[in-house]
């Protein structure tokens, strides 16, 4: 773990004020205002030598305030594919926009680079779909934190598509893929197969890596699955641009090389930040991908990288090749380009609604089948062979 990052937040306790079957989605403006006020107070009281750490705390608390929410709202809408019609027209008259995910009851604020995690042990209706999180804070079934003997465990890191935005529990591609691979493994006498879903809506690639660092590695995975879309190309760059323009984020370690290469210093104008970071867009993503690849290589854990489509949004040949090349250069293997999974199909039959590009249950079923086809018969994969004594199975290469 990078020592320059804030220490991990203490493991959260289940929320006692909301019953497990609560059906609500509420924003928390008062909590956000309190967090900002507390952060400003800490800044004023902090000794001079500790001001950098106080600045990092201000970054993490301040980004939950209304000013930054307004600044980031349009960007996150773009990345989450909400607020536009499937015909490409911007909505002129539409229902009220949902609050940013990080201020809903499903999100628990944390004082680190991730900004929020999923509320553990919680059930609600969100965006017209039933969401249930487990004790680990994952939208998934319950798992033991300690990997059971005779189990091959994978973790999936990704964004709103990976977590199953807009579909009910169990309808996403991840639980379908887990069931298919576990059934196949059981048939051949292999290990139990687990895929733990660490995806969180709104997470940029660097936040996904941070979530793996702070939670995923403690779960002892044998495999990391990285879920990507074409939005990865500018996700971290756009997010960082908005943070720096608001005076935050200058000390985030993963972005330092790009900030330095852009020649940017605190106090730079918004136009200078925009111009400088746009020129570093690929470097920013490459730095994140390479760091993730290095993390996994150091632990001897293989990485599967999957490029998924977004309903109604085509991926250009240039975007596809750029992402595939970055993934390969980062040591991800296998690199699975599934961006054509929805080609030739009507977006209206695959989207959760006319104003949201996220795949519906049928779309997730297609993604799960494509992933199963790509992974089921890979030579040496643990679900293709009997378990050896004392082993949970082979690699997924």
Domains and CATH numbers, the chain: 29-384 (3.40.50.1110)
| pLDDT the model gives residue 99 | 76
* CB-side neighbour CA atoms (13 Å) of 326: 27
**Quick one: what percent of the chain has pLDDT higher than 70?**
73
Poorest-pLDDT segment among 91-100, 244-253, 294-303? 91-100
Mean pLDDT rounded to a whole number for the chain: 82
pLDDT tens digit sequence for 185-241: 999 999 999 999 999 999 999 999 999 999 999 999 999 999 999 999 999 999 999
374-388, pLDDT tens digit by residue?
Answer: 999 999 999 999 986
Query: Which comes out higher in pLDDT, residue 172 or 20?
Result: 172
Higher-scoring residue by pLDDT: 137, 38? 137
| Residue with more model confidence, 179 or 21 | 179
Return the structure tokens found at 212: 């793996």
Q: Can you give the pLDDT at residue 313?
A: 85
Query: Would you state the pLDDT for residue 4?
Result: 39
Residue 355 or 209, more confident: 209
State whether residue 321 is helix, strand or coil: helix
The percent of residues above 90 in pLDDT, for the chain, comes to 67
What is residue 370's three-state secondary structure? helix
- Arithmetic mean of pLDDT, 36-52: 42
pLDDT beyond 80 at 45: no
Residue-wise pLDDT for 244-272, tens only, equals: 999 989 999 999 999 999 999 999 999 99
Contact 225, 327 (CB under 8 A): no
Of the listed ranges 56-60, 309-313, 355-359, 390-394, the one predicted with least confidence: 56-60
Q: Quote the pLDDT of residue 139.
A: 98
How far apart CA 325 and CA 349 sit, in angstroms, is 32
pLDDT bracket for residue 163 (50, 70, 90): very high
Distance CA 163, CA 243 (A): 25
pLDDT at 280: 97
Bigger pLDDT: 302 vs 85: 302
Query: CA 6 to CA 332: how far, in whole Å?
Result: 28
pTM of the model: 0.79
Average pLDDT over residues 309-337: 95
Please report the pLDDT score of residue 100 as a whole number.
84
Is residue 56 pLDDT above 60, yes or no? no
pLDDT tops 60 at residue 11: no
Q: Tell me the C-alpha distance between 258 and 281, whole Å.
A: 8
pLDDT at 81 over 70: no
Q: Higher pLDDT residue, 47 or 342?
A: 342
Query: Which residue has better confidence, 10 or 186?
Result: 186
224 DSSP β-pair partners: 155, 303
Residue 288 has pLDDT above 60, yes or no: yes
pLDDT given for residue 95 in this prediction = 58
């Amino acid at each position: 773990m990078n020592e320059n990052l804030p220490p991990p937040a203490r493991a959260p306790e289940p929320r006692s004020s909301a019953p497990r079957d609560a059906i609500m989605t509420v924003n928390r403006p008062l909590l956000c205002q309190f967090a900002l006020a507390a952060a400003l107070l800490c800044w004023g009281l902090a000794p001079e030598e500790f001001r950098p750490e106080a600045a990092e705390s201000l970054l993490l608390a301040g980004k939950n305030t209304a000013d930054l929410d307004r600044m980031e709202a349009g960007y996150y809408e773009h990345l989450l594919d909400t607020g536009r019609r499937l015909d490409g027209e911007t909505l002129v008259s539409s229902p009220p926009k949902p609050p940013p995910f990080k201020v809903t009851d499903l999100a628990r604020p944390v004082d680190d680079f991730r900004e929020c995690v999923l509320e553990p042990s919680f059930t609600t209706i969100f965006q017209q779909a039933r969401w249930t999180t487990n004790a680990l804070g994952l939208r998934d079934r319950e798992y033991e934190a300690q990997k059971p003997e005779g189990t091959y465990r994978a973790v999936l890191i990704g964004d709103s598509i990976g977590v199953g935005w807009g579909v009910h529990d169990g309808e996403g591609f991840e639980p379908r893929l887990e069931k298919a691979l576990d059934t196949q493994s059981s048939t051949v006498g292999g290990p139990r197969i687990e895929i733990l879903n660490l995806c969180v809506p709104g997470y940029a690639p660097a936040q996904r890596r941070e979530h793996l660092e702070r939670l995923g590695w403690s779960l002892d995975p044998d495999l990391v699955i990285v879920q990507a879309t074409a939005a990865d190309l500018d996700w971290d760059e756009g997010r960082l641009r908005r943070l720096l323009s608001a005076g935050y984020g200058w000390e985030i370690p993963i972005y330092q090389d790009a900030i330095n290469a852009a020649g940017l210093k605190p106090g730079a104008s918004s136009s200078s930040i925009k111009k400088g970071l746009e020129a570093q867009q690929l470097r920013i993503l490459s730095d994140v991908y390479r760091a993730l690849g290095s993390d996994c290589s150091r632990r001897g854990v293989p990485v599967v990288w999957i490029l998924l489509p977004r309903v109604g949004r085509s991926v250009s040949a240039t975007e596809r090749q750029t992402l595939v090349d970055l993934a390969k250069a980062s040591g991800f293997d296998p690199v699975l380009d599934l961006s054509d999974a929805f080609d030739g199909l009507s977006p209206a039959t695959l989207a959760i609604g006319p104003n949201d590009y996220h795949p519906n249950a049928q779309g997730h079923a297609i993604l799960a089948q494509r992933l199963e086809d790509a992974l089921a018969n890979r030579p040496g994969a643990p679900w293709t062979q009997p378990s050896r004594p004392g082993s949970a199975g082979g690699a997924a290469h």
